A and B are shown apart, each in its own frame.
Chain A
Amino acid sequence: MPNTQQLENFVTQVRRDILRQVHKVNSGHPGGSLGCAEFFTALYQEVMDYTTDFTMDGNNEDLFFLSNGHISPVFYSVLARSGFFPVEELNTFRLLDSRLQGHPTTHEGLPGIRIASGSLGQGMSVAIGAAEAKKLNKDSHIIYSLHGDGELQEGQNWEAIMYAAGNKVDNLIATVDLNGQQIDGCTDNVLPLGNVKEKFEAFGWDVLEVKEGNNITKVIEGLKEAKSRTGKGKPVCILLHTIMGNGVDFMMHTHAWHGKAPNDEQLETGLSQNAETLGDY
């Protein structure tokens, strides 16, 4: 297991990867990606039991589903640096003939991806289906998923949330990235989510909060706590409080960088705040 410094170095390198990917093609979604760098690092470097000998079925390993597919830069960076595909392939992000499509897809056969996502609100249902399949297969591994907070405005989530509680899908840990921002502004202004914790609880979920979603130690603690609560008859939800654009000062606390790439100068500023740790691709 990596120590905290190693994990923090990993996070810093992931931030550089995110910035460099979106800068190169002048498109993509850096804000939410940066906010979730610690979460992905925690999952793939510490918490999940998986193999990089990728099979679509993923039997006898933990699986992860990204529902808010637009934060593909962080997903690709962490998958590559965890050994799923060559790190150099990050150079092909969003380019013609690339396996690293704008939003994650199985279509080009990129190892680590098990479902296309991008059109929002479908990932929770997919994760539940995979969790039910694990139960049928008597596979005791866990299904993890990540969802944006704005994404909860999609009604399908609430169908899925109702199903998972009603059918005791207790091998599922669904994390909601509570950064309070979406494309048009603050979630409170666009369409208020209300009390997300109470809503999940009212539907019958076991909910825990990670208040410092950009503190790698706290994120790991939260994920491990969530794992300890699986198998007890309730699906588990983590409300992960993150800062959109975290780690790059001018991108933080604003929705402005949801789907906008930095220019040359902004890239340099962002990179200067995140020194190279594991080597750029």
Chain B
Amino acid sequence: MKKYTDSGKKDTRSGFGAGLEELGKKNENVVALCADLTGSLKMDAFKENHPDRFFQVGIAEANMISMAAGMTIGGKIPFTGTFANFSTGRVYDQIRQSVAYSGKNVKICASHAGLTLGEDGATHQILEDLGLMKMLPGMTVINTCDYNQTKAATIAIAKHDGPVYLRFGRPKVANFTPENGTFEIGKAVQLTEGNDVTIVATGHLVWEALQAAEQLEEAGITAEVINIHTIKPLDDEAILKSVKKTGCIVTAEEHNFLGGLGESVARVLAENHPTPQEFVATKDTFGESGTPEQLMDKYGLNAEAIIKATKKVIERK
């Protein structure tokens, strides 16, 4: 089985910051808006190097989203930055009417998604954002897994004409995808080949899936790990091709099992190729304070949980 190595832990939000800064140099139509979280979103470099194209809106996310929609009129490509919670639930109607329904080319960039935000607790740990965003017609929804992929995705979405939700996180995690790799929206990345189970993971759970696959191999189970960075449009073909071989699937995400990646996959399977599926996700609950590791362990979002789900789903074949 193909092995992946961590080139050194980095946070995905820094990948966003690096991608945004690179875009700033390359494309003068790229503008950035931030709601008082410039440092947290790693937007400092863009702000410093392109002050005329950086818009500090203060703690006023609704104004930020609708302003971004207005800035597209005149050809700008606005990237908004705040935490995932304040990027989605707080401003759902602004996104729905001014961005999605109006078909505006706004990139909603959301950090500190999910439980790995950590100690701040459930008020800030949104586990519903993928569901909220994927339900909006025309919205592209992306959840990247490491620094390199987040940087590549940030650059790639500027070339996509239409609204995008880009989700990333706070903690330093393994950086294992290729440096300066290509990022193709809507195209799944198959990381390992296997025959016994398909593991479809997104975001921080991709590395966990790889760890799980290595341990499963020692137990004689080969897993096909697929990195689904784009939740919508979903790469149905890659998922169906894999499950037709393996006969079962585990989905893994740092999100509620209601409305997340798992449900999107279940729909594809139900319509095309009914297959036993287990969901590694939070189970209709809020989070709480704790370290990211403690929380991912308590809520069953790590390699151990993926292994357990794999063994269970194989029994159901």
Q: Determine whether the beta carbon of A136 is less than 8 Å from that of B74.
A: yes
With beta carbons under 8 angstroms apart, the residue of A119, A123, A125, A159 that contacts B93 is: A119
Q: In chain B, what residue has the closest Cβ to A139?
A: B74
A72 to chain B, nearest CB (A): 14
Q: Are A128 and B67 in contact (CB under 8 A)?
A: yes
B71 adjacent to A163 (CB under 8 Å) = no
Given A136-B31, A162-B60, verify A122-B71 contact (CB < 8 Å): no
Smallest CB separation, A157 vs chain B (Å): 9
Q: Which of B87-101 contact A (CB under 8 A)?
A: 93-94, 96-98, 101
Q: Which residues of B contact A139 (CB under 8 A)?
A: 74
Query: At the interface, yes or no: A106 with Cβ under 8 Å from chain B?
Result: yes
Q: Are B62 and A156 in contact (CB under 8 A)?
A: yes
Contacts of A155 in B (CB 8 A): 62
Closest to A156 in B: B62
Residues on A with beta carbons closer than 8 Å to the beta carbon of B93: 119, 122
In B43-81, the 8 Å CB interface with A consists of 52-53, 55, 57-58, 60, 62-76, 78
Check if B69 sits within 8 Å of A129, measured CB to CB.
yes
Residues of A within 8 A of B72 (CB): 129, 133
Q: How many residues of B contact A (CB 8 A)?
A: 32
Task: Give A56 to B60 CA distance when docked, in angstroms.
Answer: 26
How far apart sit A139 and B87, CA to CA, in the bound complex (Å)?
30
CB nearest to A67 among chain B residues: B66
Q: Which of B60, B62, B63, B73 contacts A115 (CB 8 A)?
A: B73
Q: Tell me, in angstroms, the Cα distance from A122 to B60 when the chains sit together.
A: 12
Residues of A within 8 A of B52 (CB): 136
CB pair A57 B102 closer than 8 Å: no
| Chain A residues, Cβ within 8 Å of B75 | 57, 59, 133, 137
Contacts of B101 in A (CB 8 A): 105-107, 116
B57 near A163 with CB under 8 A, answer yes
Least CB distance, A154 to chain B, in whole angstroms: 9
Does A58 lie within 8 Å of B70, measured CB to CB? no
A94 proximal to B (CB < 8 A): no
Question: Looking across the interface, which residue of chain A has its beta carbon closest to that of B74?
Answer: A133
CB of A1, distance to nearest CB on chain B (Å): 27
| In the complex, chain A residues whose CB is within 8 Å of the CB of B73 | 56-58, 63, 114-115, 129-130, 133
Which of A118, A127, A137, A156 is in CB contact (< 8 Å) with B70? A127
Say whether A119 contacts B58, CB under 8 Å.
no
Is A119 a contact partner of B97 (Cβ separation < 8 A)? yes
A36 within 8 A of B: no
Contact of B103 with A by CB under 8 A: yes
Instruction: Evaluate contact between B58 and A163: CB separation under 8 angstroms.
Output: yes
A117 within 8 A of B: yes
Residues of A contacting B94 with CB < 8 Å? Answer: 122, 125, 156
Residue picked from B31, B55, B73, B78, most chain A C-beta under 10 Å: B73
- A196 an interface residue at 8 Å Cβ cutoff? no
Cβ of A151 within 8 Å of any chain B Cβ, yes or no, is: no
| Interface size range on A against B | 35 or more
Whether A106 and B60, one on each chain, are in contact in the complex, defined by CB atoms closer than 8 angstroms, is no
Q: B74 contacts A134, CB within 8 Å?
A: yes
Which of A57, A63, A116, A132 contacts B98, CB < 8 Å?
A116
- CB pair B74–A115 under 8 Å, yes or no, is no
Q: Which residues of chain A come closer than 8 Å to B57, judged between CB atoms?
A: 159, 163
Distance from A183 Cβ to chain B, minimum over Cβ atoms (Å)? 18
> A19 to nearest B CB, angstroms?
28
How many angstroms between the C-alpha atoms of A92 and B94 in the bound complex? Answer: 28
Q: Closest CB of chain A to B80's CB: distance in Å?
A: 11
In the bound complex, CA of A116 to CA of B98 (Å): 6
Check A126 for interface membership: any CB of B closer than 8 A: yes
Which partner residue on chain B sits nearest A122 by CB separation?
A: B66
Report the Cα distance A123→B70, complex, angstroms. 9
Asked if B55 and A132 sit within 8 Å, CB to CB, the answer is: yes
Closest to B76 in A: A133
A11 within 8 Å of B by Cβ? no
B70 touches A126 (CB 8 A): yes
Q: Note all chain B residues with C-beta closer than 8 A to A142.
A: none
Shortest CB-to-CB span from B198 to chain A, Å, is 37
A55-82 interface code vs B (CB 8 A; 1 in, 0 out):
0111100010100000000000000000
**CA distance in complex: A156, B199 (Å):** 43
Which chain A residue has the least Cβ–Cβ distance from B59? A159
Chain B residue nearest to A103 in the complex (CB): B97
Q: How far is the CB of B24 from chain A (nearest CB, A)?
A: 13
Q: Given A129-B70, A133-B73 in contact, is the A156-B63 Cβ separation under 8 Å?
A: yes
**Residue among A117, A121, A159 with the highest chain B CB neighbour number at 10 A:** A159
* Residue pair B74, A57 in contact (C-beta under 8 Å): yes
Q: Please name all residues of chain B whose beta carbon is closer than 8 Å to the beta carbon of A59 when the two chains form the complex.
A: 74-75
Docked-complex contact B71 and A132, CB < 8 angstroms: yes
Question: What is B's interface to A at a CB cutoff of 8 Å?
Answer: 31, 52-53, 55, 57-58, 60, 62-76, 78, 93-94, 96-98, 101-104
Beyond the given A136-B74, A160-B63, A160-B67, please list 6 additional residue pairs across the A-B interface where CB-CB is below 8 A.
A117-B97, A129-B67, A129-B72, A130-B71, A133-B73, A163-B57
Please name the 5 residue pairs, one residue from A and one from B, whose CB atoms are nearest each other, closest first. A129-B70, A133-B74, A125-B66, A159-B60, A129-B67
Pairs A–B under 8 Å by Cβ, sample size 18: A59-B75, A105-B102, A117-B97, A119-B93, A122-B66, A122-B98, A123-B66, A125-B98, A126-B69, A126-B70, A131-B70, A132-B70, A132-B71, A133-B70, A136-B52, A136-B53, A139-B74, A162-B60
